[in-house]
Structure 1
Amino acid sequence: MKKFIGIILFQCIGFLSFSQVNLKQLLCNNCTNPIGIGTSRVRFTWQLHSNKRNVMQSGYEIRVSESEPLLQQGKKLEWNSGKILSDQSVYVDYKGSPLQSNKKYYWQVRVWDNEGKLSDWSQPAFFQTAFFQTNDWKAKWIQPGFIDSVGQPSPMFRKQFTAKKKIKSATAYITAHGLYEAQINGQRVGDAYFTPGWTSYNKRLQYQAYDVTNLLKKGSNAIGVTLGSGWYRGHLAWGGNKNIYGKDISLLLQLIITYTDGTMQTIVSDGSWKSTTGSVISSSIYDGETIDDRAQKADWTLPGYDDSKWSGVKMESFSNDNLIATINEPAKKHETIKPVKVITTPKGEKVIDFGQNLVGWVMLKVKGNTGDTVIIKHAEVLDKEGNFYTTNLRAAKATSTYILNGKGEEYFEPHFTYYGFRYIKVEGIKGALNPEDFTAVAIYADMKETGTFSTSNAMINQLQHNIQWGQKGNFLDVPTDCPQRDERLGWTGDAQVFSPTASFNMNVNNFLDKWMKDVAADQFPDGRVPHVIPNVLGPDAGGSTGWSDVSTIIPWNMYLAYGDKQILEDQYSSMKAWVEYMHKQSHNNLWNTGTHFGDWLFYRPDDDNSGRAAVTDKYLIAQCFYAHSTQLLISSAKVLGKTDDVDYYTDLLQKIKGAFLKEYVTPNGRLVSSTQTAYVLALNFDMLPESLRTQAAERLVENIKSYNNHLSTGFLGTPYLCHVLTRFGYDDVAYKLLLQTTYPSWLYPVKMGATTIWERWDGEKPDSTFENPGMNSFNHYAYGAIGDWMYRKMVGLDTYEDGVGYKHIKIQPHIGGGFTYASASLQTYYGKVSNSWKIENHKILMDVEIPANTKATVFVPAESADAIKESGNVLSQVLGIKLKNSKDGYVALELGSGTYHFEIQK
């Protein structure tokens, strides 16, 4: 009996040990159960979860199968890695049998921890491949069989077919010249919008893959697809710029059905399809959409619909060489917002306020007579008198027009356009507006929200809110400058300055990876990078410092944030081409040629004759970014093992900095442009020798004080301003800048009621008048780059270069500014990392969370280890905490995973 009990106890103890580590958040190519992977390189990621401290992975085993039951039985595997001794749990490459196109695979993983204990197998996850070869496409490009009228109404395509057997699975692959929405048997295919997305279409045209198994049935089925002009042939930028990628509008669709008996059927777009027009009379990104419900074709995507009067289609022989599977998250509907106020303006207009500047559209519920027309116009702000204001939209009409069929209650929303707005003006509805009939919906890329940030200061919390909503609105499919006027372009300078902030708030790994591939695709042969990506401004719009540097800055920032050197491999030739362009344009290593935007939209003081004018020499800026991009190229070359390039560009970098000193710095260390931006860039990019940096920082602080503790920086200086101040020991000055509420400052727009970040420091002036409407967006994320300082410095969440992607975490809060509390968390690929600090009863309370399979260096704000307790215990009594050193008001500790509560006696 004792032996029996002993066995039971042993098994129970073994079971408890066995189950201490759980595996969650299984990702394949950074996605959860992705459908439509177009590359044979598949990579796996998982998280370890445990309630113990100091948990690391010591080994893993992965298995992959085409069958979920066989996977769990460990039979007929496509790959069994066996036990691999490694702590790698992110981006583990598949190394099994060659993957096949249009195939679903299942996988799971188990791990050994640092005590040698084995976890359970994870729950199965799956991935499905798309097309690996161009000839996998059997479908033909089809166009409407009718003449495309001047108004370009949206064409509709239809195909009816029979599924003769019981269906096991079905996948639809769809793309278009233009935008598309598809239905099968009356139900929408997927929940993505603005597909196939915006890329450099001539070189990279995405297609999407959808699991449509549940939409099909044995017997008769019908597919219907509606197209819109979108970015492909619609108006973009200025001066009647349209048909940039082509004049046509076309569809490519391939539906692959697998039956339960193993046989397959393929339905393709070809000459057998029918086409016509319907209720979408016109559609434009800038101008909006007109829908005439009287022209609606009821039930046209159901089998049995009579399409005998429809036109045929024309087949075209477009090349499929530019087709690529989608890697980024598509745009989807997110938050819905009801009106907060219904207004009758001084002009007598009916206006609805949704309380939030957002990007998307309004869903309308309405009743009326046949031919009644409801017009919805969109605006970000009301003017000083409280009237509807659209002047800053420039030529964009931003209007939804809905014509009723009069058959009871009708529902309207656009299909192929979007708006940036907080307010709408409604025309055509008699009587008072009913708020319940209007719902705003935010639409943006389906990126997971990863970061949280909050403080004891309500205005700073609102600033964070504005940063997040500015990102949502401008990350619809490419990182745009603004979402409302006749622009909405992927400005490279805006994106690069905001990228660290963006990667904290949301997982932008795939989003920016996709966009950076377009940066490389549209890069000019001489190495210049266009001002906007995709490039719709022509062959001369490129090469500006701080804008073209997107080619080096974003890949490096994404490598730091996500720990994936693949983006450096993919972008390296583009990075090098840009550095070489600057090199070739330079004379004696000095780059002082070309046309540059400079420190865009910097603060201009009223008294430009005071000698304090915020005008920074554009070539000084160019030399700084020349050095910075060269340094990033060196750093990337080191990661990739390109030793020859490391040596060559290290030598070049010294020459670039030497030329900077000779041209722009006096012997006493004064810069020829005595501006905040000049000193910030020179210090941030280490353009000055060590001996001159301290006094340069002092001059920066003197300049800030001369502006009564206000900033005077623009797009290129602002992102680094507070970082430089903190680096050189001026946290107090950084906090003063952060907390300023008068113009120019981050909180001035907050004080003025902003719900997103503004393009200009004073888009709305203190007297409620507006800046120049020629360029005055109220949703423009660039100045939201201050978020990076708030997360990395104020709260202190950061990653080390020897453990990028938060494998080796740095936590070093900078307490000040009168804050009594600040907290931030970040969902990394390893799990949640967080820190919060609070001042209470003459103590600093600090709560830290470190995910499993990582380590952290935590700088606790204390003069000595004796002033610190962890969970009530002195540090010497806490196992697993290693004391490194005490320096500059911090005690540095080495921690493993777990949660920690520190109390610091002030």
Structure 2
Amino acid sequence: MTNSSTLVGTDRPRLSWRYSSTNPQWRQQRRELQLTRANGAVETHAAADAEQVLVEWPFEPLSSRERATVRVRGGDSDEWTPWSEPATIEAGLLSPTDWSASWVTPTDVVGVDDPAPVLGTEFVVGPGIVAARLYVSALGIMVTRINGVPVSEDHFAPGWTSYDHRIRYQSYDVTVLVSEGNNSFHTLLGNGWYRGRIASFALHRGHPYGDRLALLAQLELRYADGRVELVATDGSWRSGASGVLLNDFYDGQFTDLRVDGYAALDRGVTVVPAPTASLATPESPPVRAVETMTAVSVNTTLDGRHIVDFGQNLVGWVRLRSRGRRGSEVVVRHAEVLEEGELSLRPLRSARATDRYLLAGTGVELLEPQLVFHGFRYAEVTGVAELSTTDIQAVVLGSQLDRTGWFSSSDAALNQLHENIVWGMRGNFLDLPTDCPQRDERLGWTGDIQVFAPAASTLFNVAGFLSSWLSDLAADQLPDGTVPAVIPRVFRDVKAFAGWGDAAVIVPWVLYERFGDAGILRRQYRSMCRWVDRVAELAGPTRLWSTGEQLGDWLDPLAPPDDPARAQADPAVVATAYFARSAQLLARAAAVVGEPADARHYGILAEQVRDAFCAEYVSSSGLIRSDCQTVYALALHWRLVPDGPTRTRTGSRLAELVQQQRYTVATGFLGTAVILDALCASGHRDAAYRMLLTHEFPSWLHAVDLGATTIWERWDSMLPDGSVNEGEMTSFNHYAFGAVADWMHREIAGLQPTAPGYRELRLAPTVGGGLTAGSARHLSPYGEIAIEWHLAGSGFSLTARIPVGVTATVVLPDGSEIPDVSHGEHRFELERFVTDAAIDGDRTDVSAASEAMRSR
């Protein structure tokens, strides 16, 4: 088994580095980078600055296929650090002329309901082989083997992109898989996103991306004498039918294990014209098996069905060991919840979510699919006489994202909520940010990721993942600037929806803030402008976006169950608020990318929209039209109402509404992401804590009490009696309401970035809600940041760890500030202070005298 190498699709990759440790007085004031090319040539570049994140490539450009190593050292005014270990960089195929392979498809037409095809060839490797590199892509999804061994652990490659515009290709070092003499190459092709039911979605533009699967493969064999031989797809390759009789992301996989997995290549292939889309190297990490979970229980019904509980709502597939007579059938069905001990299948809608196997009868057989995934906690297995927990596992799949954020508190339910958010994100970040992983949908809804992007960037390194998705957003954006509600686009009719289309501006800005990446703003800048310009056109000279259909504050818990868009919040108020927000962020982005005229233009536009918002929707008494939690939350958090008496009254009205709802949530997707921040910004942190920590319905912890292990689509996806919401749209794995995780890190733990890439921090925990401890860790571009605080009696202690290159301001609960805290370990203490006594918001007065102590 080999692992895919990290490939760069540019001749000028950017460079970042971290320092593991150094003395507290040390600061990088200069740096030196050294490049060693494959031919032994060495290039060195020195600069006198403190930059260490996403530094522009200072050397001559790389050429296609070029491998080189880079190392770095940093220095202050007196001395250099040791050189880093070298990092290897390899450029991909940077020009279309680098490709010699042709796209090929089975000559016999293979339909969507036919057995999955295998394409392959035999090739000979001569003596003196030193390296073998495979470049491969597909229309569909692929599983590639050389000499019977998978070339990687990747699943569903090359993934879902806007196939009309760009198609990814993978690159693998397969040197260890080839050997001198005869060798074989086989690729199994699945429908995937390209041609399955997901591509023929009911509201699709009218046709799937294509009706035929295809393969592009180029294996380059390098010998010691410098020769390069190519094994590339062309008309001489062969095809055959595999034992995968059916495969569809919604419906599952049907596999005949009696058929040789590699198939008899008894048919020809046809060379087809290359797609007009460009070939691109992946920015996003591959989909991999990230964990394997053993079943926690197996219950067998009277009629012999086995109901398996894995204890966690997850995304992936079931791995089952079974034996049986040849041709007997084993069936595995999946569901997220049980009702009266049986799988609850209604939330799947038309998705069958069923894997079937015809056994070969060769003894113990391993049953697991390759071309589908499911969202489930429970599985029903039939066709097996006996089943124990040791016979069955759940393979957890997801994009292989690096974890960057961890949180803990003194409240066990709050910790479980955070864990649920992590699991919900892990399952829905599978090649692209989907809304849900189980039913007949699984689409990249822009509104969901727009509200969740800050939390996502806190929990995992999503820089490449979301950058890749944003490339598709720009590609699928309409000529008039309208952003489809789903990316990649599947809807025939595209409308401009506030809060959904705004992902074009908000998501790039979040990536800039969290990862320090101005490059993403430069790349997406025209897309950002086109969206705001489109909204300005729709709003007209009044600057009020009050026309057109809107999704609004989707899934407001007080909206009619069968009409999730009919929220309390006036759609025009919500739309105009988003117009102001995106114009404001675009003005800032223009300044970052060096467009001062645009910065002035969009800054003035943002002011005009804010003024129009206040004049039309905000009364002198502070009331906002439709008088509900969401409209106040948007206006306060985004500072659409300026400082002064009106803003004070607006904040008080929000707190009053929250109190009237008994501190339960009365917001949908758009309002929930900002409600706690709005309460804090208006001086009502106690109300924010009470809302977060209430267990009454609807609330975050209500679902925890009912046994949730992920975040639900609806606040009442499950009812207290254990029955499932009767609506047609009920998912138990939606991440949108998990946007609260970002607030938990920033306010409860107190870890707040104040400059792009966490270069500057504000460590300011909000002590309240009856919590006695809080902590967070974050792996920033500069290294790991950690904060932990505790209450003990009337005392307070805080410890912090700050990496090299980062400076923090520490704010203690008594309001005292310690600025310019540099890298290292630090401890701060208060002997006595004023704190919230409990969730009810009563305050206990303790001596305000405090003493801050710092030690390294």
TM-score category (smaller protein): over 0.9
Distance 1:506 1:240 in 2: 32
- Tell me what 1:468 maps to: 422
Q: Secondary structure at the match of 1:46?
A: coil
- Tell me what 1:19 maps to: none
For 1:821-873, what per-residue CA distance to the aligned partner results, in whole angstroms no more than 9, with x for missing partners? 111000011100011110124211101010012211111223xxxxxxxxxxx
Shift of residue 518, structure 1, vs aligned partner: 0.5
- Tell me what 1:654 maps to: 607
For 1:621-656, what per-residue CA distance to the aligned partner results, in whole angstroms no more than 9, with x for missing partners? 000000000001001011112111111122222221
For 1:248-271, what per-residue CA distance to the aligned partner results, in whole angstroms no more than 9, with x for missing partners? 100000011111222211110111
Pair 1:479-2:433 in alignment: yes
Q: Secondary structure at the match of 2:17?
A: strand
- Tell me what 1:256 maps to: 220
Counterpart AA for 1:38: G
- Tell me what 1:545 maps to: 498
Q: How does 1:407-446 map to 2 (within 5 A)?
A: 407-430=362-385, 432-446=386-400
Pair 1:809-2:761 in alignment: yes
- Tell me what 1:507 maps to: 461
Structure 1 gap ranges (5+): 1-31, 301-306, 863-888
Distance 2:255 2:397 in 1: 20
Shift of residue 36, structure 1, vs aligned partner: 2.6
Q: Secondary structure at the match of 2:687?
A: helix
Pair 1:276-2:240 in alignment: yes
- Tell me what 2:229 maps to: 265
Shift of residue 94, structure 1, vs aligned partner: 1.8
Comparing 638-647 and 560-569, the one that deviates more: 638-647
- Residue from 62, 66, 76 that aligns with 1:99: 62
Distance 1:286 1:414 in 2: 13
Distance 2:659 2:418 in 1: 26
Q: How does 1:721-736 map to 2 (within 5 A)?
A: 721-736=675-690
Q: 1:630 to 1:34 in 2, by over 3 A?
A: farther
Distance 1:772 1:632 in 2: 40
- Tell me what 2:848 maps to: none
- Residue from 12, 27, 31 that aligns with 1:60: 31
- Residue from 281, 292, 317 that aligns with 1:325: 281
- Tell me what 1:38 maps to: 9
Q: Secondary structure at the match of 1:659?
A: helix
Shift of residue 47, structure 1, vs aligned partner: 0.6
Q: Percent identity?
A: 39
- Residue from 552, 565, 586 that aligns with 1:633: 586
- Tell me what 1:310 maps to: 266
Q: How does 1:336-347 map to 2 (within 5 A)?
A: 336-344=292-300
Shift of residue 724, structure 1, vs aligned partner: 1.1
- Tell me what 1:899 maps to: 825
Q: Secondary structure at the match of 1:295?
A: coil
For 1:28-64, what per-residue CA distance to the aligned partner results, in whole angstroms no more than 9, with x for missing partners? xxxx995331111211111112252243211111111
Q: Secondary structure at the match of 1:90?
A: coil
Distance 2:342 2:372 in 1: 25
For 1:451-482, what per-residue CA distance to the aligned partner results, in whole angstroms no more than 9, with x for missing partners? 11011111011001100000000001100000
Pair 1:783-2:737 in alignment: yes
Count, aligned residues: 823
For 1:410-439, what per-residue CA distance to the aligned partner results, in whole angstroms no more than 9, with x for missing partners? 112111110000000011112x31221111
Shift of residue 349, structure 1, vs aligned partner: 3.7
Shift of residue 491, structure 1, vs aligned partner: 0.4
TM-score, with length taken from structure 1:
0.89
- Tell me what 2:167 maps to: 205
Shift of residue 176, structure 1, vs aligned partner: 0.4
Counterpart AA for 2:69: Y
- Tell me what 2:698 maps to: 744
Q: 1:769 to 1:640 in 2, by over 3 A?
A: same
Q: Secondary structure at the match of 1:196?
A: coil
TM-score, with length taken from structure 2:
0.94
Distance 1:685 1:347 in 2: 58
Q: Secondary structure at the match of 1:47?
A: coil
Counterpart AA for 1:324: A
Distance 1:753 1:150 in 2: 39
Distance 2:559 2:155 in 1: 44
- Tell me what 1:137 maps to: 99
Pair 1:847-2:799 in alignment: yes
Root-mean-square deviation (Å): 1.9
Distance 1:402 1:103 in 2: 45
Shift of residue 690, structure 1, vs aligned partner: 1.6
Pair 1:76-2:30 in alignment: no
For 1:725-747, what per-residue CA distance to the aligned partner results, in whole angstroms no more than 9, with x for missing partners? 11222111111011111111000
For the 8 Å contact 1:46–1:89, the answer to whether it is kept is yes
For the 8 Å contact 1:853–1:897, the answer to whether it is kept is yes
For the 8 Å contact 1:494–1:781, the answer to whether it is kept is yes
For 1:51-95, what per-residue CA distance to the aligned partner results, in whole angstroms no more than 9, with x for missing partners? 52243211111111224xx8xxxx621x311x3111111112222
Distance 1:849 1:590 in 2: 46
Q: Secondary structure at the match of 1:620?
A: helix
Q: Secondary structure at the match of 2:740?
A: helix
Q: How does 1:215-230 map to 2 (within 5 A)?
A: 215-230=177-192
Distance 2:235 2:117 in 1: 16
- Residue from 360, 371, 375 that aligns with 2:327: 371
- Residue from 575, 578, 583 that aligns with 2:536: 583
Q: 1:375 to 1:747 in 2, by over 3 A?
A: same
Q: 1:607 to 1:485 in 2, by over 3 A?
A: closer
Distance 2:362 2:560 in 1: 60
- Tell me what 1:234 maps to: 196
Distance 2:561 2:226 in 1: 79
Distance 1:271 1:553 in 2: 47
For the 8 Å contact 2:4–2:152, the answer to whether it is kept is no
Pair 1:822-2:774 in alignment: yes
Q: Secondary structure at the match of 1:619?
A: helix
Pair 1:531-2:495 in alignment: no
For the 8 Å contact 2:323–2:361, the answer to whether it is kept is yes
Distance 2:61 2:112 in 1: 50
Distance 2:301 2:25 in 1: 62
For 1:511-548, what per-residue CA distance to the aligned partner results, in whole angstroms no more than 9, with x for missing partners? 0000011110001111111010000112x233100000
For the 8 Å contact 1:34–1:127, the answer to whether it is kept is no
Q: Secondary structure at the match of 1:57?
A: coil
Q: Secondary structure at the match of 1:591?
A: coil
Counterpart AA for 2:370: H
Q: Secondary structure at the match of 1:256?
A: strand
Q: 1:473 to 1:755 in 2, by over 3 A?
A: same
For the 8 Å contact 1:54–1:895, the answer to whether it is kept is no
Q: How does 1:3-22 map to 2 (within 5 A)?
A: none
Counterpart AA for 1:363: R
Q: Secondary structure at the match of 1:892?
A: strand
Q: How does 1:152-171 map to 2 (within 5 A)?
A: 152-171=114-133
For the 8 Å contact 2:12–2:61, the answer to whether it is kept is no
- Residue from 512, 515, 521 that aligns with 1:559: 512
Distance 1:604 1:755 in 2: 24
Q: 1:660 to 1:320 in 2, by over 3 A?
A: closer
Q: 1:321 to 1:424 in 2, by over 3 A?
A: closer
For 1:539-577, what per-residue CA distance to the aligned partner results, in whole angstroms no more than 9, with x for missing partners? x23310000000000000110000010010011111110
Shift of residue 97, structure 1, vs aligned partner: 2.4
Distance 1:139 1:531 in 2: 36
Q: 1:270 to 1:394 in 2, by over 3 A?
A: same
- Tell me what 2:839 maps to: none
